[in-house]
Structure 1
Amino acid sequence: MESAEPGGPITDDWIEHHFDHLAPEFARDFHPTLARVRARCPVARSDRHGGFWVAGRYADVLDIAQDWRTFSSELGITVPHVPSASSMKIFPVTIDPPLQRTFKRLVNAHFTPAKIAPWEEPTRALVNRLIDGFIERGECDFMDDFARPFPGLAFFDLALHAPAEDLEEVNGYATKASLPQAADRMESLRALAGWIGEFVERRRAEGPRGDVVDAVLGAGIEGRPITHAEAVGTVQLLVMGGLDTTAGVLGAAMLRFCEHPEIPALLRDRPDLVPAAVEELLRLDGSFVCIGRTARHDARIGGHRIGAGEQVLIYWASANRDEAEFANPDAFDLDRPSNRHVAFGAGPHRCVGSNLARMNLRVALDALVRRLDGVALRPGADIGFHSTFNRAPLSVPITFAPGKRTER
């Protein structure tokens, strides 16, 4: 049996032997392809990009993510010959316990529910300000006008306490840097790193503010102070980890609302269901879709021998629709009795910003379903996705009933 031609239909041979997470045909047919992976070969060996394994079942993904002694982040989180956004060591993602746990505790303390609770009202004000920017037009590109600018503007302001005059500019750098297909992505990454470097130096010279930036700057790494480069890389990770991921969930949610208008109608009538809707949207359309791990020693997963030094791509997005874990897994079900999704990852490297992401999504969805009535995709819209380790719509052009700006 022949493998798929580039851009052509995906064959069984492609799934079993030539899986390529960067292939455009995979981005186009994402969830159906992962369903075929689970059905045909839950653990498969691909010959692409120097060779790597793919794991798609919930149980296998969870086992690999939790077994950091066998499957290391420090030895590599991307598949061979596929460049990552930065070669800089960034904490805590590219280190393993016990050092990883020490560093993560410093960061986690600044993203607890209690810590982010005071951010809810300013977040709601930002959401309404962004909606005000397009609500009178009755149309917008949801990704450009809301989903992409929102999480960065909130994070730079509320979490990092960036200067107000820098917010629009630095969020522009970060937004472009998070788009794999953007022509000026690398230039934006360099500009973002440059801004963070200056910001870190400025914060070192200022008095402490008790925020996550202070925690990073005061961190000790194996008995020594964190270096400037490590601090810059870590702040950059905190920024990038929550932008495209939150934007992707919002974009996918809007696509789902357009296809199933009964969902926003229900949430408008029952705002108490918004938190449950957030969890189901994260399970179905979580944008943090996969990550790599490198085997420290020989191991077995799903009956297959993984050799020392080999890499395994674990698919959160596949685990979240595994029929063995979730009944009727492709359905949006607010009455689901158990929703142990892994949209934020699992194990020691589970996302530190999960509480913040949930709050942002809850506040955003509550305002969107209340203020945008009759949302529909613009006729003729061609919806594409970028799909690497994160997955997000490239564009979501929508129409809706023109509304009023909030009172000022």
Structure 2
Amino acid sequence: METTTASTGPIDDEWVEKHFDHLSPELGRDLHATLARARSRCPVAHSDQHGGFWVVTRKDDVLRVAQDWKTFSSEDGITVPSRGPQMKILPVTVDPPLQREFRQLTNPYFRPAVVSEWEGPTRDLVNRLIDEFIEDGACDFMEAFARPLPGLAFFDLALHAPAEDLEEVNGYAVMGSQMHRPGAMDSLMKLAGWIGRFIEKRREEGPRGDVVDAVMSAQIEGRPITPEEVVGTVQLLVLGGLETTAGVLGMAMQRLCAHPEILRSLRERPELIPKAVEEFLRLDGSFVCIARTARQDAEVGGQLIKKGEQVLMYWVSANRDEDEFDNPDLFDLERTKNSHIAFGAGPHRCAGSNLARMNLRIALEEIVRRMHDIRLQPGAEIDFLSTFNRAPLSVPILFTPGKRVFEPAPA
């Protein structure tokens, strides 16, 4: 059945080939089927919407654009209309070699060996969050678990934020990462203000050997890093993993409700949980797309992209490319080849992928262990605010009530 948009007519072949609108709510509701049509008919297509841009949907072409930063720049690209002033977040909006300097500051603090030390506290946090709703037999999974988890873990374990600030600042970050919500820009400004105050306090304290120390004392292009760059870098670290990880968790829960056999398989064979994480990332990755601008004429997928033209590449389409994955729409716990790019590719590949994988794995382990007969609440519909991030607005679920692991905090 064809869907109608307010400005460009039905999502049909002509819409996909000539009028692709990355902001269309209908695209968000029928994302994967629309992208499959694009891969089949016009894997590199030019849209006349929003001043004109190219849409790239096959994996090989997406990698071509993502990895060739000399040709396709990150400094300018298609953006989401905002309700307030744009904020520069480093190093997403710069290219190598400057981008590489910022990444070299932070990458060592998210290596597998470092992240593995956070597993115990992360598991405690996961179980404390589950404790808050396990006795009720019902919750909105996004509100109760998926959105609080990544931020609370990051502020505590990576930034060593004061315990008394965790709930407040995570609230700013969660709201600020949902750019289509009223109040998002205000929350981003409050988050930036908190980061500035946090950095000043850390300068007064002794070094802790963490990523905050590394950013504060950095040399960029042979000069001391500026206060604005410190805030921007820390802000990216915070925002980069919040709504994206929350989105994967929410979509994973929706899939578990729709396919209870997956939950049964994982309960019977918990050793398959790491594979399940990779399938959730491939099929339900929430990092949908990103834009680049051509610095010079270039050919991609047989199409000439001219200097100055914008290119929108779809990670979620690449991850379902029929030329790359057998039965690409199937959740397959026995899949042997899963070279997805849910965390992006090229110099801007997500620095927090190890942390995200650990959060997802531990969350899934404890959900499988503690939650039974999980199902969507009657009448529940999964919807999205943004076509840039595949994070559900809510996932209301029912389940068999269980017991707490920790004693409740005293009133």
**TM-score greater than 0.5 by the shorter chain:** yes
**Aligned residue number for residue 306 of structure 1:** 305
> For the residues of structure 1 that align with 2:83 and 2:320, how far apart are their CA atoms?
27
> For the residues of structure 2 that align with 1:180 and 1:194, how far apart are their CA atoms?
18
TM-score (norm 2): 0.95
**Aligned residue number for residue 218 of structure 1:** 217
> For the residues of structure 1 that align with 2:6 and 2:357, how far apart are their CA atoms?
37
Are 2:118 and 2:157, in contact at CA under 8 Å, matched by a contact in 1? yes
Displacement of 1:386 in angstroms is 2.5
Partner deviation per Cα, 1:326-375 (whole Å, 9 max, x = no partner): 01000011111211100000111110000000000000000011111000
**Aligned residue number for residue 118 of structure 1:** 117
1:357-372, aligned counterparts within 5 Å?
Answer: 357-372=356-371
> For the residues of structure 1 that align with 2:92 and 2:85, how far apart are their CA atoms?
12
- CA separation of 1:123 and 1:3: change in aligned 2, threshold 3 A: closer
Partner deviation per Cα, 1:306-340 (whole Å, 9 max, x = no partner): 11111100100000000000010000111112111
Displacement of 1:101 in angstroms is 1.9
**Aligned residue number for residue 40 of structure 1:** 41
> For the residues of structure 2 that align with 1:3 and 1:301, how far apart are their CA atoms?
29
**Aligned residue number for residue 62 of structure 1:** 63
Count of residues in correspondence between the two structures: 405
> For the residues of structure 1 that align with 2:307 and 2:402, how far apart are their CA atoms?
59
**Aligned residue number for residue 191 of structure 2:** 192
Displacement of 1:279 in angstroms is 0.5
Are 2:71 and 2:294, in contact at CA under 8 Å, matched by a contact in 1? yes
> For the residues of structure 1 that align with 2:91 and 2:333, how far apart are their CA atoms?
34
Displacement of 1:205 in angstroms is 2.1
> For the residues of structure 1 that align with 2:208 and 2:71, how far apart are their CA atoms?
39
Please say which of residues 321-330 and 376-385 is displaced more in the overlay.
Answer: 376-385
Identity score, percent? 68
**Aligned residue number for residue 235 of structure 1:** 234
Are 1:4 and 1:11, in contact at CA under 8 Å, matched by a contact in 2? no
> For the residues of structure 2 that align with 1:54 and 1:141, how far apart are their CA atoms?
35
1:1-400, aligned counterparts within 5 Å?
Answer: 4-6=4-6, 9-74=10-75, 76-79=76-79, 82-83=81-82, 87-400=86-399
SS of alignment partner, residue 283 of structure 2: helix
Please say which of residues 159-168 and 42-51 is displaced more in the overlay.
Answer: 42-51
Are 2:89 and 2:236, in contact at CA under 8 Å, matched by a contact in 1? yes
Name the aligned partner's letter for residue 37 of structure 1: A
Are 1:173 and 1:192, in contact at CA under 8 Å, matched by a contact in 2? yes
Displacement of 1:90 in angstroms is 3.0
Name the aligned partner's letter for residue 27 of structure 1: G
TM-score (norm 1): 0.96
> For the residues of structure 2 that align with 1:304 and 1:10, how far apart are their CA atoms?
23
Are 1:3 and 1:13, in contact at CA under 8 Å, matched by a contact in 2? no
> For the residues of structure 2 that align with 1:217 and 1:241, how far apart are their CA atoms?
19
Displacement of 1:14 in angstroms is 1.3
Displacement of 1:85 in angstroms is 8.4
> For the residues of structure 2 that align with 1:126 and 1:3, how far apart are their CA atoms?
42
Alignment of 1:405 with 2:398, yes or no, is no
- CA separation of 1:251 and 1:201: change in aligned 2, threshold 3 A: same
Unaligned runs of 5+ in 2: none
SS of alignment partner, residue 133 of structure 1: helix
- CA separation of 1:128 and 1:85: change in aligned 2, threshold 3 A: farther
SS of alignment partner, residue 342 of structure 1: coil
Displacement of 1:404 in angstroms is 0.6
Name the aligned partner's letter for residue 145 of structure 1: A
Are 2:146 and 2:249, in contact at CA under 8 Å, matched by a contact in 1? yes
Displacement of 1:9 in angstroms is 4.4
> For the residues of structure 1 that align with 2:390 and 2:195, how far apart are their CA atoms?
25
> For the residues of structure 2 that align with 1:91 and 1:176, how far apart are their CA atoms?
20
Displacement of 1:83 in angstroms is 4.8
Cα RMSD after superposing both structures: 1.7
Are 1:88 and 1:230, in contact at CA under 8 Å, matched by a contact in 2? no
SS of alignment partner, residue 240 of structure 2: helix
Name the aligned partner's letter for residue 29 of structure 1: D
Partner deviation per Cα, 1:224-252 (whole Å, 9 max, x = no partner): 11111111111111111000000000000
> For the residues of structure 2 that align with 1:238 and 1:67, how far apart are their CA atoms?
24
Are 1:216 and 1:234, in contact at CA under 8 Å, matched by a contact in 2? yes
